[in-house]
Amino acid sequence: MEIGKYNRARVESIMPQGYYLELETGGRVLLPGNRDEFSLEEDEILDVFVYMDSEDRPIATLQKPYAQAGEFAVLEVKDVNRVGAFLDWGLNKDLFLPYKQQLGELQRGDRCVVYILLDDKSNRLVATEKIKSFIDTDTSELHVGERVELAAYEVTPDYVDFLVNYRYTGRLMVTPGTKRIYIGDTMPGYIQRFTNDGKITLNLSPVGYKGLMKSDSPNAVLRKLSEAGGFLPYGDHTDPETIQKEFGMSKKTFKKILGTLYREGKILIQDDGIRLP
């Protein structure tokens, strides 16, 4: 049984209080409900979300939470009391954010960026705003210019730190004209570059090579290839608008550069893109 996650289950029996399910991962759990709410048959296979009810018993639901254990989410505060905050995460039972896991005072209606985890001591699902230790530091799957989803979790006068694709972290430097951003704000963004220590620098506008280097130089393509890990999914099949956005040059210029680099043995041209040898 995996608490806080989706489980594949088989309807074992049907009772007045609901459906007893046998979980593929082991264990037996109740799915409350009757045929007026939804109709299931014995031996039917389905996916359910399993969590702890108010009496700390595992229970199943067909509702879909905004995130499950081991994931990040931007959630709204529904209530606050002396022990912590309660967050709307899409289920009838709110998600608990203890005071010790908060980074600042929260009020009803606030949005916060949290990581959802299973507390080792209580076996309860809880949220934490102390998310940095859960962020993935391996950014090898990302590349310069890539469009990503952002969620602001730290805002200062000089910079804003975002979750990137709800997995990594990146930083946007605040400059004159940067729009006002608040914790919990979500928006698309673009990877501008990777620093020497692997950190991500972000931009809210598409990143081309104009302004970064001479855009019609073969070195622009080589550098972008290198920063992307040696492969880019662009070539003859790529439309001119994408080439202009990603490289800041016309497709005609781009193809000419590829031809030069290929003849010099500096790149390989494949059906799905270009690659460093």
What tokens were used for 216? Answer: 């019609």
158/100 Cα distance (integer angstroms): 27
Q: What is the pLDDT of residue 213?
A: 38
Nearest partner of 109 among 174, 207, 184, 8, judged by Cα: 184
Q: What is the pLDDT of residue 212?
A: 38
Q: What is the pLDDT of residue 210?
A: 41
127, 119 Cβ separation under 8 angstroms: no
> Tens digit of pLDDT per residue, the chain (277 long)?
888 999 999 999 998 888 999 999 888 999 998 767 778 889 999 999 999 887 888 899 999 999 999 999 999 999 999 999 999 999 988 999 999 999 989 999 999 999 999 887 777 899 999 999 999 988 888 888 888 999 999 999 999 999 999 999 999 998 887 889 999 999 999 998 887 677 899 988 876 544 333 344 677 788 888 888 889 999 888 988 888 777 777 788 888 889 889 988 999 999 899 999 8
**Residue 43 neighbours by CB under 8 Å, 6+ apart:** 10, 11
Output the CA torsion 90→93→95→96 (10° steps).
Answer: 160
146/157 Cα distance (integer angstroms): 26
152/114 Cα distance (integer angstroms): 11
Q: What is the pLDDT of residue 115?
A: 97
Q: What is the pLDDT of residue 226?
A: 83
Q: What is the pLDDT of residue 217?
A: 63
What tokens were used for 201? Answer: 């620098």
